[in-house]
Structure 1
Amino acid sequence: MKTINDIISSIEFDEWMMEVLRAAQSLNLPDWWICAGFVRSKIWDTLHGIQPRTPMSDVDLIYFDSAILDEEMEKEYENQLEQIFSDVPWSVKNQARMHLVNQIPPYASSVDAISKFPETVTALGVKLNDNGQVLLSAPHGIDDVLNMEVKPTSYFLEKEERVAIYKKRIKEKKWSLTWNNVKILY
Protein backbone atom coordinates (compact mmCIF):
# COMPACT_ATOMS: atom_id res chain seq x y z
CA MET A 1 0.00 0.00 0.00
CA LYS A 2 1.70 3.15 -1.24
CA THR A 3 -0.83 5.49 -2.88
CA ILE A 4 -4.29 6.99 -2.52
CA ASN A 5 -5.44 4.56 -5.22
CA ASP A 6 -4.08 1.64 -3.16
CA ILE A 7 -6.07 2.82 -0.14
CA ILE A 8 -9.22 3.27 -2.22
CA SER A 9 -8.80 -0.17 -3.83
CA SER A 10 -8.34 -1.87 -0.46
CA ILE A 11 -11.62 -0.32 0.70
CA GLU A 12 -13.44 -1.19 -2.53
CA PHE A 13 -12.39 -4.85 -2.15
CA ASP A 14 -13.56 -4.93 1.47
CA GLU A 15 -17.25 -5.87 1.27
CA TRP A 16 -17.94 -4.97 4.91
CA MET A 17 -16.51 -1.47 4.43
CA MET A 18 -18.50 -1.01 1.24
CA GLU A 19 -21.70 -2.08 3.04
CA VAL A 20 -20.97 0.46 5.78
CA LEU A 21 -20.39 3.17 3.17
CA ARG A 22 -23.60 2.27 1.31
CA ALA A 23 -25.56 2.38 4.57
CA ALA A 24 -24.18 5.85 5.30
CA GLN A 25 -24.88 7.03 1.76
CA SER A 26 -28.51 5.87 2.03
CA LEU A 27 -29.21 8.68 4.53
CA ASN A 28 -28.47 11.30 1.86
CA LEU A 29 -26.76 13.54 4.40
CA PRO A 30 -25.11 16.74 3.17
CA ASP A 31 -21.31 16.69 3.01
CA TRP A 32 -21.01 13.27 4.68
CA TRP A 33 -17.85 11.24 5.32
CA ILE A 34 -16.92 8.20 7.36
CA CYS A 35 -13.67 9.10 8.97
CA ALA A 36 -10.89 8.57 11.48
CA GLY A 37 -10.34 4.99 12.69
CA PHE A 38 -12.50 3.47 9.95
CA VAL A 39 -9.86 4.50 7.40
CA ARG A 40 -6.72 4.50 9.56
CA SER A 41 -7.37 1.02 10.97
CA LYS A 42 -7.92 -0.42 7.49
CA ILE A 43 -4.59 0.99 6.34
CA TRP A 44 -2.66 -0.14 9.42
CA ASP A 45 -4.31 -3.58 9.45
CA THR A 46 -3.32 -4.03 5.81
CA LEU A 47 0.26 -2.85 6.42
CA HIS A 48 0.55 -5.21 9.41
CA GLY A 49 -1.15 -8.17 7.69
CA ILE A 50 -3.84 -8.27 10.38
CA GLN A 51 -6.92 -10.34 9.56
CA PRO A 52 -9.70 -10.29 10.52
CA ARG A 53 -9.92 -6.55 10.99
CA THR A 54 -9.10 -4.87 14.27
CA PRO A 55 -12.33 -4.24 16.22
CA MET A 56 -13.53 -0.64 16.23
CA SER A 57 -15.09 1.12 19.18
CA ASP A 58 -17.23 3.08 16.72
CA VAL A 59 -17.70 4.07 13.11
CA ASP A 60 -17.61 7.86 12.84
CA LEU A 61 -20.04 9.27 10.30
CA ILE A 62 -19.83 13.04 10.02
CA TYR A 63 -21.88 15.45 7.96
CA PHE A 64 -22.38 19.21 7.66
CA ASP A 65 -25.89 20.64 7.93
CA SER A 66 -26.09 24.19 9.28
CA ALA A 67 -29.90 24.19 8.91
CA ILE A 68 -30.51 21.55 11.60
CA LEU A 69 -28.17 21.76 14.60
CA ASP A 70 -30.22 19.60 16.95
CA GLU A 71 -28.20 16.79 18.53
CA GLU A 72 -31.35 14.67 18.58
CA MET A 73 -31.21 14.54 14.77
CA GLU A 74 -27.81 12.82 15.04
CA LYS A 75 -29.34 10.21 17.35
CA GLU A 76 -32.16 9.71 14.86
CA TYR A 77 -29.61 9.08 12.10
CA GLU A 78 -27.81 6.59 14.35
CA ASN A 79 -31.14 4.78 14.90
CA GLN A 80 -31.80 4.69 11.16
CA LEU A 81 -28.34 3.27 10.50
CA GLU A 82 -28.78 0.68 13.23
CA GLN A 83 -31.93 -0.51 11.41
CA ILE A 84 -29.87 -0.95 8.23
CA PHE A 85 -26.67 -2.34 9.75
CA SER A 86 -27.19 -3.27 13.39
CA ASP A 87 -23.77 -4.73 14.21
CA VAL A 88 -21.95 -1.46 13.53
CA PRO A 89 -21.32 0.89 16.50
CA TRP A 90 -22.43 4.08 14.75
CA SER A 91 -21.43 7.55 15.92
CA VAL A 92 -23.04 10.34 13.88
CA LYS A 93 -22.00 13.97 14.35
CA ASN A 94 -23.06 17.13 12.54
CA GLN A 95 -19.87 19.14 12.11
CA ALA A 96 -21.92 22.34 11.71
CA ARG A 97 -22.55 22.20 15.50
CA MET A 98 -19.36 20.61 16.80
CA HIS A 99 -17.63 23.96 17.21
CA LEU A 100 -20.14 24.64 20.00
CA VAL A 101 -19.20 21.38 21.72
CA ASN A 102 -15.46 21.95 21.24
CA GLN A 103 -15.62 25.71 21.96
CA ILE A 104 -13.71 26.68 18.83
CA PRO A 105 -14.52 28.76 15.72
CA PRO A 106 -17.09 27.15 13.35
CA TYR A 107 -15.97 24.72 10.69
CA ALA A 108 -16.62 25.61 7.06
CA SER A 109 -17.35 22.01 5.97
CA SER A 110 -16.84 18.40 6.96
CA VAL A 111 -13.43 18.34 5.27
CA ASP A 112 -12.47 21.46 7.24
CA ALA A 113 -13.46 19.57 10.41
CA ILE A 114 -11.42 16.53 9.35
CA SER A 115 -8.40 18.78 8.80
CA LYS A 116 -8.66 19.82 12.45
CA PHE A 117 -8.76 16.30 13.93
CA PRO A 118 -5.99 15.75 16.51
CA GLU A 119 -3.66 13.45 14.53
CA THR A 120 -2.66 13.50 10.88
CA VAL A 121 -3.15 9.70 10.75
CA THR A 122 -6.76 10.16 11.87
CA ALA A 123 -7.53 13.15 9.65
CA LEU A 124 -8.92 10.92 6.91
CA GLY A 125 -12.39 10.40 5.48
CA VAL A 126 -14.06 8.26 2.85
CA LYS A 127 -17.42 8.33 1.15
CA LEU A 128 -19.14 7.17 -2.01
CA ASN A 129 -19.85 9.48 -4.90
CA ASP A 130 -23.13 9.29 -6.81
CA ASN A 131 -21.68 6.49 -8.98
CA GLY A 132 -20.75 4.39 -5.94
CA GLN A 133 -17.02 5.05 -6.25
CA VAL A 134 -14.94 5.57 -3.11
CA LEU A 135 -13.59 9.07 -2.54
CA LEU A 136 -10.82 9.77 -0.02
CA SER A 137 -10.24 13.03 1.83
CA ALA A 138 -6.78 13.39 3.34
CA PRO A 139 -6.25 17.08 4.19
CA HIS A 140 -2.76 16.34 5.59
CA GLY A 141 -1.87 13.79 2.93
CA ILE A 142 -1.30 10.06 3.39
CA ASP A 143 2.43 9.86 4.10
CA ASP A 144 2.07 9.80 7.90
CA VAL A 145 -0.59 7.08 7.93
CA LEU A 146 1.33 4.95 5.41
CA ASN A 147 4.60 5.45 7.32
CA MET A 148 2.72 4.77 10.59
CA GLU A 149 4.08 7.99 12.07
CA VAL A 150 1.72 9.61 14.57
CA LYS A 151 1.94 13.37 15.00
CA PRO A 152 -0.51 16.17 15.69
CA THR A 153 -2.17 18.18 12.96
CA SER A 154 -0.99 21.76 12.67
CA TYR A 155 -4.28 22.87 14.26
CA PHE A 156 -3.47 20.87 17.40
CA LEU A 157 -0.02 22.40 17.61
CA GLU A 158 -1.39 25.96 17.68
CA LYS A 159 -2.38 26.04 21.37
CA GLU A 160 -1.06 24.34 24.51
CA GLU A 161 -4.50 23.07 25.53
CA ARG A 162 -4.84 21.31 22.16
CA VAL A 163 -1.38 19.78 22.52
CA ALA A 164 -2.49 18.45 25.92
CA ILE A 165 -5.62 16.92 24.34
CA TYR A 166 -3.47 15.31 21.65
CA LYS A 167 -1.03 13.85 24.21
CA LYS A 168 -3.89 12.51 26.35
CA ARG A 169 -5.45 10.81 23.31
CA ILE A 170 -2.15 9.20 22.35
CA LYS A 171 -1.77 7.73 25.84
CA GLU A 172 -5.35 6.43 25.83
CA LYS A 173 -5.30 4.98 22.29
CA LYS A 174 -2.25 2.75 22.84
CA TRP A 175 -2.06 2.14 19.09
CA SER A 176 1.38 0.53 19.21
CA LEU A 177 -0.06 -2.35 21.26
CA THR A 178 -2.29 -3.27 18.31
CA TRP A 179 -0.02 -2.14 15.47
CA ASN A 180 3.58 -2.69 16.59
CA ASN A 181 5.15 -0.69 13.74
CA VAL A 182 3.40 2.53 14.73
CA LYS A 183 5.76 5.28 15.84
CA ILE A 184 4.63 8.16 18.07
CA LEU A 185 6.73 11.11 16.90
CA TYR A 186 5.30 13.84 19.13
Structure 2
Amino acid sequence: MDLPQGCIGAGFIRNLVWDHLHGRQSDCRDEDVDVLWFDPARATPDQDAALEDRLRAIAPDLRWSVRNQARMHLRNGDPPYPSVAGAMRAWPETATAIAAARDGAGCHIIAPFWLADLGQLSLRPTSRAPAKRAAFEDRLRSRGWRDRWPMVRVLA
Protein backbone atom coordinates (compact mmCIF):
# COMPACT_ATOMS: atom_id res chain seq x y z
CA MET A 1 0.00 0.00 0.00
CA ASP A 2 3.08 2.20 -0.07
CA LEU A 3 2.43 3.68 3.39
CA PRO A 4 5.21 5.80 4.92
CA GLN A 5 6.99 3.61 7.49
CA GLY A 6 4.30 0.99 6.80
CA CYS A 7 4.66 -2.30 8.68
CA ILE A 8 2.72 -5.08 10.38
CA GLY A 9 3.32 -5.54 14.06
CA ALA A 10 2.22 -5.48 17.66
CA GLY A 11 0.12 -8.38 18.92
CA PHE A 12 -0.06 -9.95 15.48
CA ILE A 13 3.66 -10.76 15.50
CA ARG A 14 3.90 -11.41 19.25
CA ASN A 15 1.03 -13.91 19.09
CA LEU A 16 2.52 -15.79 16.14
CA VAL A 17 5.89 -16.06 17.87
CA TRP A 18 4.47 -17.08 21.23
CA ASP A 19 2.12 -19.64 19.66
CA HIS A 20 5.12 -21.12 17.84
CA LEU A 21 7.17 -21.24 21.05
CA HIS A 22 4.26 -23.06 22.72
CA GLY A 23 4.16 -25.62 19.88
CA ARG A 24 0.90 -24.32 18.42
CA GLN A 25 -0.11 -23.49 14.87
CA SER A 26 -1.44 -19.96 14.48
CA ASP A 27 -4.28 -18.98 12.22
CA CYS A 28 -3.90 -15.37 11.12
CA ARG A 29 -7.66 -15.11 10.75
CA ASP A 30 -7.97 -15.34 14.54
CA GLU A 31 -5.83 -12.24 15.13
CA ASP A 32 -6.04 -8.54 14.38
CA VAL A 33 -3.51 -7.71 11.69
CA ASP A 34 -2.02 -4.51 13.09
CA VAL A 35 -0.86 -2.21 10.30
CA LEU A 36 1.28 0.68 11.52
CA TRP A 37 2.32 3.70 9.52
CA PHE A 38 3.42 7.29 10.07
CA ASP A 39 2.28 10.38 8.22
CA PRO A 40 1.42 13.54 10.20
CA ALA A 41 -0.31 15.03 7.13
CA ARG A 42 -2.88 12.17 7.08
CA ALA A 43 -3.37 11.55 10.80
CA THR A 44 -7.13 11.09 10.97
CA PRO A 45 -9.25 8.11 12.00
CA ASP A 46 -11.07 8.42 8.67
CA GLN A 47 -7.81 7.88 6.79
CA ASP A 48 -7.16 4.69 8.81
CA ALA A 49 -10.72 3.48 8.21
CA ALA A 50 -10.35 4.01 4.44
CA LEU A 51 -7.13 1.98 4.47
CA GLU A 52 -8.84 -0.79 6.44
CA ASP A 53 -11.61 -0.83 3.80
CA ARG A 54 -9.00 -1.19 1.03
CA LEU A 55 -7.29 -4.03 2.88
CA ARG A 56 -10.61 -5.81 3.53
CA ALA A 57 -11.32 -5.64 -0.20
CA ILE A 58 -7.97 -7.33 -0.88
CA ALA A 59 -8.10 -9.89 1.97
CA PRO A 60 -11.60 -9.99 3.50
CA ASP A 61 -10.88 -12.99 5.72
CA LEU A 62 -8.41 -11.01 7.87
CA ARG A 63 -9.22 -8.58 10.69
CA TRP A 64 -7.35 -5.43 9.70
CA SER A 65 -6.48 -2.76 12.26
CA VAL A 66 -4.75 0.26 10.71
CA ARG A 67 -3.31 3.02 12.92
CA ASN A 68 -1.30 6.03 11.83
CA GLN A 69 1.13 6.38 14.71
CA ALA A 70 1.38 10.13 14.06
CA ARG A 71 -1.92 10.59 15.91
CA MET A 72 -1.75 7.90 18.58
CA HIS A 73 0.05 10.14 21.09
CA LEU A 74 -3.28 11.94 21.57
CA ARG A 75 -4.98 8.76 22.76
CA ASN A 76 -2.04 7.85 24.98
CA GLY A 77 -1.45 11.26 26.57
CA ASP A 78 2.13 11.43 25.29
CA PRO A 79 4.11 14.07 23.44
CA PRO A 80 3.96 13.63 19.64
CA TYR A 81 5.80 10.59 18.35
CA PRO A 82 8.57 11.09 15.78
CA SER A 83 8.10 7.79 13.92
CA VAL A 84 6.59 4.32 14.10
CA ALA A 85 9.55 3.13 16.20
CA GLY A 86 9.18 6.19 18.45
CA ALA A 87 5.51 5.37 19.00
CA MET A 88 6.36 1.75 19.78
CA ARG A 89 8.69 2.95 22.56
CA ALA A 90 5.58 4.28 24.34
CA TRP A 91 3.62 1.02 24.16
CA PRO A 92 2.90 -0.74 27.48
CA GLU A 93 5.05 -3.88 27.11
CA THR A 94 8.32 -4.67 25.36
CA ALA A 95 7.30 -7.97 23.74
CA THR A 96 4.50 -6.26 21.83
CA ALA A 97 6.74 -3.45 20.52
CA ILE A 98 7.77 -5.37 17.40
CA ALA A 99 6.97 -4.87 13.74
CA ALA A 100 8.08 -6.14 10.36
CA ALA A 101 8.23 -4.29 7.06
CA ARG A 102 8.91 -5.46 3.54
CA ASP A 103 12.38 -4.60 2.37
CA GLY A 104 12.56 -5.67 -1.25
CA ALA A 105 12.46 -9.47 -1.16
CA GLY A 106 13.37 -9.46 2.54
CA CYS A 107 12.01 -8.20 5.80
CA HIS A 108 13.08 -5.33 8.06
CA ILE A 109 12.39 -5.79 11.79
CA ILE A 110 11.54 -2.80 13.99
CA ALA A 111 12.16 -3.65 17.64
CA PRO A 112 12.98 -0.63 19.84
CA PHE A 113 13.34 -2.92 22.88
CA TRP A 114 15.16 -5.63 20.94
CA LEU A 115 13.85 -9.17 20.55
CA ALA A 116 14.92 -10.86 23.77
CA ASP A 117 11.63 -10.52 25.66
CA LEU A 118 9.66 -11.72 22.66
CA GLY A 119 11.88 -14.78 22.21
CA GLN A 120 12.14 -15.52 25.92
CA LEU A 121 8.36 -15.34 26.49
CA SER A 122 8.75 -12.40 28.85
CA LEU A 123 6.23 -9.68 29.60
CA ARG A 124 7.93 -6.53 30.84
CA PRO A 125 6.59 -2.97 31.09
CA THR A 126 8.31 -0.42 28.88
CA SER A 127 8.19 2.29 31.53
CA ARG A 128 7.98 2.87 35.25
CA ALA A 129 5.78 5.94 34.71
CA PRO A 130 2.54 5.42 36.68
CA ALA A 131 0.20 5.75 33.68
CA LYS A 132 2.27 3.38 31.54
CA ARG A 133 2.61 0.92 34.41
CA ALA A 134 -1.16 1.02 34.97
CA ALA A 135 -1.75 0.32 31.27
CA PHE A 136 0.62 -2.66 31.47
CA GLU A 137 -1.15 -4.04 34.57
CA ASP A 138 -4.57 -3.55 32.95
CA ARG A 139 -3.50 -5.37 29.79
CA LEU A 140 -1.98 -8.18 31.85
CA ARG A 141 -5.31 -8.68 33.66
CA SER A 142 -7.64 -8.27 30.70
CA ARG A 143 -5.89 -9.99 27.78
CA GLY A 144 -5.65 -13.57 29.10
CA TRP A 145 -2.01 -13.88 28.05
CA ARG A 146 -1.04 -16.25 30.86
CA ASP A 147 -3.95 -18.54 30.00
CA ARG A 148 -3.09 -18.64 26.31
CA TRP A 149 0.68 -18.89 26.86
CA PRO A 150 1.37 -20.54 30.24
CA MET A 151 5.16 -20.37 29.76
CA VAL A 152 5.10 -16.55 29.69
CA ARG A 153 6.99 -14.93 32.55
CA VAL A 154 5.95 -11.55 33.92
CA LEU A 155 8.98 -9.41 34.72
CA ALA A 156 7.84 -6.42 36.70
TM > 0.5 fold call: yes
Q: TM-score, with normalisation over the residues of structure 1?
A: 0.79
Cα gap change, 1:125 to 1:52, in 2 (>3 Å): closer
3-state SS, counterpart of residue 121 of structure 1: helix
1:134 deviates by 1.3
1:173 deviates by 1.3
What one-letter code is carried by the residue in structure 2 that aligns with 1:88? L
1:57 deviates by 4.1
Residue 172 of structure 1: aligned partner: 142
What is the rounded CA distance, in whole Å, between the counterparts of 1:73 and 1:52 in structure 2?
30
Residue 31 of structure 1: aligned partner: 5
Deviations, residues 4-57 of structure 1 (Å, cap 9, x unaligned): xxxxxxxxxxxxxxxxxxxxxxx1110111111111112111111102447644
What is the rounded CA distance, in whole Å, between the counterparts of 1:115 and 1:69 in structure 2?
19
Equivalent position to 2:132, from 154, 162, 170: 162
Matches within 5 A, 1:1-186: 27-53=1-27, 56-129=30-103, 131-153=104-126, 156-157=127-128, 159-186=129-156
Residue 5 of structure 1: aligned partner: none
Q: TM-score, with normalisation over the residues of structure 2?
A: 0.93
Paired residues, number: 156
User: Percent identical across equivalent pairs?
Assistant: 35
Deviations, residues 76-114 of structure 1 (Å, cap 9, x unaligned): 000000000001111111111111222210000011111
More strand by share: 2
3-state SS, counterpart of residue 106 of structure 1: coil
Q: Is the 8 A contact 2:29 2:61 kept in 1?
A: no
TM-align CA RMSD: 1.4
